[in-house]
Structure 1
């Protein structure tokens, strides 16, 4: 299993680099969709199928369609002579690369400090801390069904304990959809 995960991580990394370096915008969008699908597969291997489905649907599907629409709507009326023909890859912006490395290094150090996936002593999967107090996992496992009266613990956590968070996410998605529709409407009318 570790080999499959390693291959997927390398695949996702390479597709991310390709997205950044490809000169062809539509090719970069297609590569981004493949990147998103690879990331979705990683989420499946990490036992998070709900996140994987969201990644595949939003990253691989909806965003790719929106990017293609944005390219189509914003490139109309640009004379072919004004579009420079370049090679397959863009030149590298070294300042942007330095910012990416400056953000990636601490992130990788933090990830290295996390407990291993499946570690039974990790706070995310153990019911108590070393001092005996309940972890959030322990609280939810022990109290969710009796406190909420629901038969599904995941639905209970999303609706009862994290209801405002879930509502906030729905508001953000709705606002983004309305914003995209407004922009598309303006572009179509002009």
Structure 2
């Protein structure tokens, strides 16, 4: 099982690098869908099937489809457009001269420089990611193993109830909700849930704008 987890993690890292640097937008969207699907499998291995279901449905499914729709509506990519662009490119392939000097050499050199399939590395962004990844990785490696019964969040370390046991024992008396999950989301983490709803509302409005807009060109 450990090799499956390591393989999935390696795939996620490589796919994320491809998404960050690849110039092919459609290929990037497809790779993003595969990346989120691999993350969903990781959630299943971590015994979180509810999170895995949302990850697969929203990340690999809905988000990828919305990316393709947005690409189609903002660039107008279609088969006829591709044929037209190919034909126009063939017609304008011949260098033009102005006063006996070739003026298309600079453009040809620029197009050859941009012919690479990947974007160049952004060093400041890479340093920022490394600065964030190091403490996050250290924190992750410091966590208790999955299912550890002596973990701080699940045991009475000093005689006082931990958050895990407090919510299970006092939710009904504090909030009146018989469901501890609902109580945590609505009462104990009310402000956090409000922020999530604001983000979800903004995402829904953005989706409606993309779907209803005819063309921006």
Whether TM exceeds 0.5 here: the answer is yes
Deviation string for 1:153-187 (max 9, x for gaps)?
43454455445544543343133111221244344
**In structure 2, what is the equivalent of residue 142 of structure 1?**
169
Deviation string for 1:57-105 (max 9, x for gaps)?
22111221121122112213999469x6733333322232222222212
Q: Over alpha carbons, which structure has the higher Rg?
A: 2
**In structure 1, what is the equivalent of residue 3 of structure 2?**
3
**In structure 2, what is the equivalent of residue 88 of structure 1?**
117
Secondary structure of the corresponding residue to residue 119 of structure 1? coil
**In structure 2, what is the equivalent of residue 35 of structure 1?**
35
The correspondence of residues 123-162 of structure 1 with structure 2, limited to 5 A, is 123-124=152-153, 126-128=154-156, 130-144=157-171, 148=176, 150=178, 152-159=179-186, 161-162=188-189
Cα separation, 2, equivalents of 1:189 and 1:13 = 34
Residue 29 of structure 2 contacts residue 64 of structure 2 at CA under 8 Å; is this kept in 1? yes
**In structure 2, what is the equivalent of residue 13 of structure 1?**
13
For structure 1, the 5+ residue unaligned runs are none
Cα separation, 2, equivalents of 1:71 and 1:56 = 21
1:181 paired to 2:208: yes
Cα separation, 2, equivalents of 1:105 and 1:189 = 41
Cα separation, 1, equivalents of 2:131 and 2:177 = 47
Cα separation, 1, equivalents of 2:133 and 2:195 = 28
Residue 40 of structure 1 contacts residue 51 of structure 1 at CA under 8 Å; is this kept in 2? yes
1:105 paired to 2:137: no
Q: 4+ runs of 1 displaced by more than 6 Å? A: none
Relative to the length of structure 1, the TM-score reads: 0.80
Q: How much does 1:188 deviate? A: 4.0
| Higher deviation after alignment, 55-64 or 71-80 | 71-80
Deviation string for 1:121-163 (max 9, x for gaps)?
2223x132x211111101122234676463x543454455445
Cα separation, 1, equivalents of 2:204 and 2:135 = 34
Q: Once superposed, what is the RMSD of the aligned Cα atoms?
A: 2.9
Secondary structure of the corresponding residue to residue 28 of structure 1? helix
**In structure 1, what is the equivalent of residue 53 of structure 2?**
53
**In structure 1, what is the equivalent of residue 75 of structure 2?**
75
| Higher deviation after alignment, 100-109 or 176-185 | 176-185
**In structure 2, what is the equivalent of residue 25 of structure 1?**
25
Relative to the length of structure 2, the TM-score reads: 0.72
